[in-house]
Amino acid sequence: MSQHINVNVIAPGRFPSKMTQHIGNDEQALAEDVALIPMKRWGREEEMAALVISLASTAGAYMTGNIIPLDGGFSL
């Protein structure tokens, strides 16, 4: 393995985006979707940013080869 190269993957759940806007624009579909997420809400941009910043900082220096779910508990 190469030194100083960390590879991790973030597996996001639902976040507001172009890919999910069709759900977010339909109140019934949104309520049904959120009901499936243990935290009962979609993720926020700042939560994704915080994880990315952490992984890119020295806090993530010893972390590599991981798939990190950021999905409000959906993958449990």
Domain boundaries, the chain: 8-70
d(CA 29, CA 32): 5
Instruction: Judge whether 11 and 70 are in contact, CB under 8 Å.
Output: yes
The whole-model pTM stands at: 0.83
What is the pLDDT, as a whole number, of residue 3?
Answer: 75
Distance between the two ends of the chain, CA-based, in angstroms?
A: 31
Instruction: Give the distance, in angstroms, between the CA of residue 24 and the centroid of all CA atoms in the same chain.
Output: 17
How many other C-beta atoms lie within 10 A of the C-beta of residue 28? 8
Could you say which residues of the chain have pLDDT below 50? none
Q: What's the residue count for the chain?
A: 76
Beta bridge partners of 69: 11
What is the pLDDT, as a whole number, of residue 45?
Answer: 96
